[in-house]
Structure 1
Amino acid sequence: MKSLFAVALGILTAIGGFLDIGDLVTNAVVGARFGLSLAWVVPVGVLGICVFAQMSGRVAAVSGRATFEIIRERLGPRMAVANLCASFLINLLTLTAEVGGIALALQLASSVNPKLWIPVAALAVWLVIWRVKFSVMENVTGVVGLCLVMFAVAVFLLGPDWGQLADQVFTPSLSDGENLAAYWYYAIALFGAAMTPYEVFFFSSGAVEEKWTVRDLAKSRLNVLVGFPLGGILSVAIAALSAIVLMPGGVEVSSLSQVLIPVAEAGGKLAVAVIILGIVAATFGAALETALSGGYTLAQFLGWSWGKFRRPVEAARFHLTMLVLLIVAVGVLMTGVDPILVTEYSVVFSAIALPLTYLPVLIISNDPQYMGEHVNGPVVNAIGTVYLVIIVAASAAAIPLMIVTGAGQ
């Protein structure tokens, strides 16, 4: 159990990043429309987020400072403010979707109108941020979120034709009625979801919250190498379930309840109950991450006192920022906007903002002034550079593909 808690930050970050409300539905949509022909995007995204999250965690462990603090100092306020604006707005969009996602998950469990759950969900997020220790928050949310492993179990319970699934993975093709533009739109959406900017800022700030030092570099690597691949595996499992059950019937996924249809077929009510618990934990964890990331980035840019390791009165503006973000999120959701749609757009906009996030991380992790002997090695730099090229290409293609496909329609 101690070993599990040692990687709780990675599990929380990965589950919140890979399996928030939009990703749950997007993976199901992709599986129902394209089968597993887009499964290759997930390992590409997992490797990318592992490389850059490990850089970000190493920066925090070696320097004792969060990555965003150093970005402002090293690259100047102009570069940092562009990064701040992009990441802060994406955080707000994603936070809005996650609060709505908690409400949708609670609706599945209770049949109560999600609008009644929205203020309750936001209040619960705020109370945890305000009163619960960071270590307790990450341990409980990360461990309960492991209920989503039931998605992978459900794939085996269905007893699929593994050869057919393998053909979809290794010989991707378009089904009737689908087009190449929509295929690449969802490829970028999945890639952006895997490498959402708030993940690296949360991981870095979380390392400072936990007071990591150079002695914790092995723990940092363990968090990255366990947490993010786990999130990726579960993402593929969701797509596989849709490919097995929904794709043959031509079912178009448009709601969270439809994601549960294959699980119900595989494991009945008990499996569905476990998945709903996992979804509540995952969306709640993602809401915590995005709210904290919003507070972290603004406070670190402006030089405010921040962190859950400080009492709220000692970091009042940091906590006020998160309270305002939650109030705005509730206000937007109460207009009736679809939280799933909000997240789908935030994922694409995340892809657009990726260069602003990952180029500074690569620069700082190579700066001996902050990193000393722990700068990137040549292999990590080579991989990071390749990913920057991919990131720029995805960023440039995101908006044109959104327009051409009508947001994937």
Structure 2
Amino acid sequence: MKKLLGVTLGILTAIGGFVDIGDLVTNALVGSRFGLRLAWVVVVGVIGICLYAEMSGRVVAISGRPVFDLIRERLGRRTGLFALIASFLVTLLTLIAEVGGVALAFELASGVNYLLWMPLAAFAVWLVIWRVKFSSLETMFGLLGLLLIVFAVALWKLAPDWGQLVHQATNPHPTGHETWGTYAYYAIALFGAAMTPYEVFFFSSGGVEEKWTPRDLATSKVNVFIGFPLGGLLSLAIAGCAAVLYFPHGIQVDTLGQVTLPTAVALGKVGLAIVLLGVFAATFGAALETALSCGYTIAQYFGWQWGKFVRPREASRFHIVIIICLALSILVLLTAVDPVKVTEYSVVFAAMALPLTYLPILIIANDPDYVGEHTNSAVLNFFALIYLGLLLLASIAAIPLMIITRAGQ
């Protein structure tokens, strides 16, 4: 049982990274507009995040130190600061979207406007971070997030034309009035959502929280190669439900309610209740991840005490950063900005920061001073460099495509 629960860090990271508010909305939106013609991006993203998360976990298990701490030491304070600013701003933007996502989940369950729920949502995130042990946090929200498997059940119950879905997935091109510009824009959005920077920072810091040693290398790999592919499958199920229910009728997904509707159509009130609980667990888990990641990156760069493995008063600056970030989230969301739009922009801006996140990880994973004999193999480096090229291409193309397509309109 202990080994089984050890996988929950990977599940929480994958659910929070692949099926957070960004992926819930983006996958459903893409499914409603393109069917499964962008499913290949999810597969590419899963492979990429597995490659780099495995490196991060290996670095932590061997060195006992989190990735961002080593980035500053290995690349210098200036380069580390550049990476810090880029990744922190993207993570903060993602946190804003996740807090909004938790509030929207409460709105769906209660009918009360999400603006009234936001302060409570942010306070609940802070309270869990402040009071709940890291092992309990990852177990509780990692396993609750698995309720989103209801999307896969709903897809099966909708009795789709499986041959048509396979045809869509194996014919990656825009259809109807869609252009190659919007197709490429949403491909980058999906790629950015799959490889969001905070995923590796949270995963590596979580390894330190769990006190990984070289004996935990196998646990690290199991977390990666079970957790992230599971998150990818859930993403495909969400896109598949939208492709079946909305795509044939030309209906575009714009709200979280539309994302959850296929489960209600397929499974009734029971399905809706399960998916609402799963959405809450996924968005709340992602809010925990992003809030913690904001604190992790800042504290590790400046060399402060950090983490939940020490008492809050011993890591006061770490917790103050988290409180400030949550307060900023409330202030931004109280302007009545649409959390769904924040979500869409956050995954695109995440794509811009990807090279600054993953190049340092690749450098550290090849440095014997940190990982000893456990450096990357030649084959792993080959594929990692291919992905680095893809990350650079996505980073360069993100803003021009956003401007040309008017954010995918």
- TM-score scaled by length of structure 2: 0.99
Question: What is the rounded CA distance, in whole Å, between the counterparts of 1:394 and 1:113 in structure 2?
Answer: 36
Aligned residue in 2 for 1:23: 23
1:171-190 per-position Cα deviation (integer Å, ceiling 9, x unaligned): 23322111000000000000
Q: What is the one-letter code of the residue matched to 1:344? A: E
Q: 2:283 maps to what in 1?
A: 283
Structure 2 CA distance, aligned partners of 1:172 and 1:293?
Answer: 34
Q: Deviations over 1:339-370 (max 9, x none)?
A: 11112111111101101000000000000011
Q: Tell me the secondary structure at the aligned position of residue 246 of structure 2.
A: helix
Find the counterpart in structure 2 of residue 123 from structure 1.
123
Partner of 1:335: 335
Write the letter of the residue equivalent to 1:379.
V
How big is each residue's C-alpha offset from its partner over 1:162-217, in whole Å with a ceiling of 9 and x where there is no partner?
10001001123322111000000000000000000000000000000000000000
Q: C-alpha distance in 1, partners of 2:289/2:166?
A: 34
Distance in 2 separating the partners of 1:3 and 1:245:
39
Q: What letter is aligned with 1:381?
A: N
Structure 1: distance between partners of 2:57 and 2:339: 30
The alignment partner of 1:373 has SS state of: coil
1:8 Cα deviation from its structure 2 partner = 0.4
5+ unaligned residues in a row in structure 1: which ranges?
Answer: none
Partners in 1 of 2:323 and 2:172 — Cα distance? Answer: 45
CA distance in 1, matches of 2:2, 2:302: 36
Which amino acid counterpart does residue 195 of structure 1 have in structure 2? M
Alignment partners' CA distance in 1, 2:75 and 2:49: 22
Instruction: Give the equivalent residue in structure 1 for 2:297.
Output: 297
In the alignment, the residues of structure 1 paired with residue 169 and residue 159 of structure 2 have an alpha-carbon distance, to the nearest angstrom, of 17
Equivalent residue, structure 2, for 1:234: 234
* CA distance in structure 2 between the aligned counterparts of 1:84 and 1:173, rounded to whole angstroms: 36
Query: Which string of whole-angstrom CA distances, capped at 9 and with x for unpartnered residues, describes residues 276-304 of structure 1?
Result: 00000000000000000000000000010
User: CA RMSD for the aligned pairs?
Assistant: 0.8
Separation of aligned partners in 2, 1:298 and 1:387: 26
- 2:140 aligns with 140
Shift of 1:3: 4.0
Question: Which whole-Å CA distance do the structure 1 matches of 2:173 and 2:393 have between them?
Answer: 22
5+ unaligned residues in a row in structure 2: which ranges? Answer: none
Task: Name the structure 1 match of 2:69.
Answer: 69
- Conserved? CA contact 1:22–1:341, under 8 Å: no
Asked if structure 2 preserves the Cα contact closer than 8 Å seen for 1:246 and 1:262, the reply is no
| Partner in structure 1 of residue 44 of structure 2 | 44
What one-letter code is carried by the residue in structure 2 that aligns with 1:197?
A: P
1:93-137: CA deviations, max 9, x gaps?
A: 011110110000011111111111100000000001111100000
Written as runs of structure 1 = structure 2, the 5 A alignment for 1:5-404 is 5-404=5-404
Q: Distance in 2 between matches of 1:45 and 1:252?
A: 24
Contact 1:263 1:272 in 2 (8 A): yes
Distance 1:21 1:386 in 2: 28
Aligned residue pair count: 409
How far apart, in 1, do the equivalents of 2:265 and 2:288 lie? 32
Can you list the C-alpha shifts for 1:316-359, whole angstroms capped at 9, x where unaligned?
Answer: 00000000000010011111011111121111111011010000
Q: What letter matches 1:406 in structure 2?
A: R
Provide the C-alpha distance between the structure 1 equivalents of 2:12 and 2:173, rounded to a whole number of angstroms.
34
Q: Which amino acid aligns with 1:292?
A: L
